[in-house]
Amino acid sequence: MQPIRFALDAGHDYVELNQLLKLAGLAHSGGTGKAIVASGAVRVDGQVELRKTCKIRAGQVVECEGVRIEVAAD
């Protein structure tokens, strides 16, 4: 699984899941990110996540399409 480290911007406590997929290059837009989440293809901390705009915070791990995104504070 390909690892990616994603650092939250200073002053931000979280990123919405659909936006994280977009920012990590796994989705072309937030709307595409929402569709990917709705399909059940995304796991957060090992559990399937269906909430499209759930808040992903530092220390969480998102897995999608063979990519592991580790979210960290800036």
Residue 74 pLDDT > 90, yes or no? no
Mean pLDDT score, 57-66: 96
pTM as predicted: 0.92
Query: What does the domain layout of the chain look like in residue ranges?
Result: 2-72
Sheet holding 47-48, edge to edge: 2-7, 67-72, 61-64, 42-44, 47-48
Q: How high is the pLDDT of residue 55?
A: 98
What are the tokens at 63?
């897995």
Under 8 Å between Cβ of 62 and 69: yes
Q: How high is the pLDDT of residue 59?
A: 97
Give the CATH architecture of domain 2-72.
Roll (3.10)
Nearest alpha carbon to residue 24 among 11, 39, 42:
42
Q: Could you read off the pLDDT of 8-61 as tens digits, one per residue?
A: 988 899 999 999 999 999 999 889 999 999 999 999 999 999 999 999 999 999
Residue type, 56: I
